[in-house]
Structure 1
Amino acid sequence: MSPFEFIFSLFGLLLGFSLVEVLGGLARALAVLLRPVEQRPAGFRLGWLTPLFALFVLLDLVSFWGAAWFARDVLSVRPGTLFGGLFFAGAYYLCAHLVFPPDIDAAGDLDRHYRRIHRTVLPGLLALLLLQLGFYAATPTLAPALTQPRPLIFTGVLIALMIAAIIVRSPRWSAVLLVALVVRYLVVLI
C-alpha cells in the first residue's frame, strides 16, 4: 500500500460520506416531490436554489478528490498530513450535511433553506479552496501548476463566483450564480 493509498483510505471514506449526505438530501427532497400533491407537506417547495447548490457542492467535492490525486506524490504519512486531511474531509462533510435540511417534510420552501445556510456553507468551501491553494503554493513541486494560465483563470473565476454567491441577496441572482458555478466546473472537465 502506497502512502497515498493509506492516507486516502480514511479521507476517501469521509469524502464519500459527504457525497452521500448531498445525494441523500436530494433523494429525500425528490421523494417528497414525487408524492401525490395531497400527501406533500403544506408549503413544500423544491425550488431551484438548493438543488443547484447541491450540484455545485457535489462537483466541488469531486474536484477536491481530483486535487488530492494531483498531490498524491507529495503526501506522506505524517501527523500533519493525517490531521490536515481529517480537517479538510471533516469540513467538507459538515458543509455537505447542511446543504439539505435534516427534516425535508418540515422544511417548507427549500429556496428559503438555501438562503439560511449559503452564508455558512459557501464561506466554508471558499476557505477550503484557499487552504488548498496555499498548500499548493507552499509545495515546490505543486506550485508551478498555480501559474499556468488555464488553472489560474478558472480558479480566479471560481473564487469570484463564490464570493458573489455569498454576497448576493436576490434569489434570481443566486440562481444565476449557482448555474455559473456549475457551468464553470463542467467547462473545466471538458
Structure 2
Amino acid sequence: MSDFEFIFVLYALVLGLSLVELLAGFGRTLENEFESDADGTRFRFGWLTPLLGAFVLLDLLSFWMFAWTIQSLITVSPSALLGVMIFAASYYLAARLVFPTRPELFEDLDTHYYRVRRTVMGILIALVFAQWAFLYSVEEVRAAVFTPMTLGLTAMLVGMMAATMIVKNRHFQAVLLVALCVRYLVIYLI
C-alpha cells in the first residue's frame, strides 16, 4: 500500500460520509415536501438550500479530485493524518449543516439557508486557504500552481463565496449560487 492509499482511505471515508450527509438531507427535505403536499400543510422548498447543497457537492468533488492530483506529494506522518482528518471533518460539518435535520420545523427552507450560509461558506473558504497553504509549502509545485490564471480563478471563487455570506437579497443569492455551480461545471468539463 502506498502512502497516498493509506491516507486517502481516511480522506475518502470522511468525504464519502459528507456526500451521504448531503444526499440524506436532501432526501429528508424532499420527504417533508411530499408530506406537506399530502396533508395540506405549508412548506416552501425554495431554491437557496438546494443550490447550496449542489455547490457544496461540487466543491467536495473538487477537493476529492485535488487529492488525486497531489498523490505523489503525500507521505504518511502523524501531522499528515491529523491535517487530513481536520480537513475532511471540516467538510463533513459543512455538508451536515446544508439541510436541516428536521425540515418539518420550517415553513420556508430559505430561512434555514440564511441561518447556515455564513458558517458553511466560512468553512469552505477556510478549506480553500488550507489547500493553497499546502500547495505553497510544496516547493516542487509552487511555481506551476501560483499562476495568474489559477490565482484569478481562486479569487473569483472566494469572492463569490464571500458575497453569499454578505448579500441578503434572495435573487442575488440564487444568482451567486448558480454562478458558483456553473464555475465548477465549466472547470470539470474543460
> Shorter-chain TM-score: which interval?
over 0.9
Kindly indicate whether the alpha-carbon contact (under 8 Å) linking 1:22 and 1:100 is maintained by their aligned counterparts in 2: yes
Kindly indicate whether the alpha-carbon contact (under 8 Å) linking 1:4 and 1:73 is maintained by their aligned counterparts in 2: yes
Equivalents in 2 of 1:76, 1:101: separation in Å? 37
Kindly indicate whether the alpha-carbon contact (under 8 Å) linking 2:36 and 2:42 is maintained by their aligned counterparts in 1: no
Aligned residue identity for 1:11: Y
Structural RMSD (CA)? 1.4
Aligned residue identity for 1:79: P
Moved more, 136-145 or 167-176: 136-145
For 1:63, the equivalent position in structure 2 comes to 62
For 2:88, the equivalent position in structure 1 comes to 89
Kindly indicate whether the alpha-carbon contact (under 8 Å) linking 1:47 and 1:110 is maintained by their aligned counterparts in 2: yes
Kindly indicate whether the alpha-carbon contact (under 8 Å) linking 1:145 and 1:151 is maintained by their aligned counterparts in 2: no
SS of the aligned residue for 2:140 comes to coil
Matches within 5 A, 1:27-176: 27-35=27-35, 37-39=37-39, 42-176=41-175
Aligned residue identity for 2:50: P
User: So what's the TM-score if we normalise by structure 1?
Assistant: 0.94
Q: Deviations over 1:124-150 (max 9, x none)?
A: 110011111111011112213323344
Equivalents in 1 of 2:24, 2:13: separation in Å? 16
Kindly indicate whether the alpha-carbon contact (under 8 Å) linking 1:154 and 1:188 is maintained by their aligned counterparts in 2: no
Kindly indicate whether the alpha-carbon contact (under 8 Å) linking 2:4 and 2:71 is maintained by their aligned counterparts in 1: yes
Equivalents in 2 of 1:142, 1:34: separation in Å? 50
Q: Deviations over 1:48-94 (max 9, x none)?
A: 00000000000000000011111111111101100000000000001
Are 2:18 and 1:18 equivalent residues in the alignment? yes
* Residue identity (%): 46
User: So what's the TM-score if we normalise by structure 2?
Assistant: 0.94
Equivalents in 1 of 2:148, 2:164: separation in Å? 24
TM-fit CA distance, 1:152: 2.6
TM-fit CA distance, 1:36: 6.3
Moved more, 71-80 or 27-36: 27-36
Equivalents in 2 of 1:126, 1:99: separation in Å? 15
Q: Which runs of 5+ in 2 are unaligned?
A: none
Query: Would you say how many aligned residue pairs link Structure 1 and Structure 2?
Result: 189
TM superposition outliers: structure 1 runs of 4+ over 4 Å: none
Q: Which runs of 5+ in 1 are unaligned?
A: none
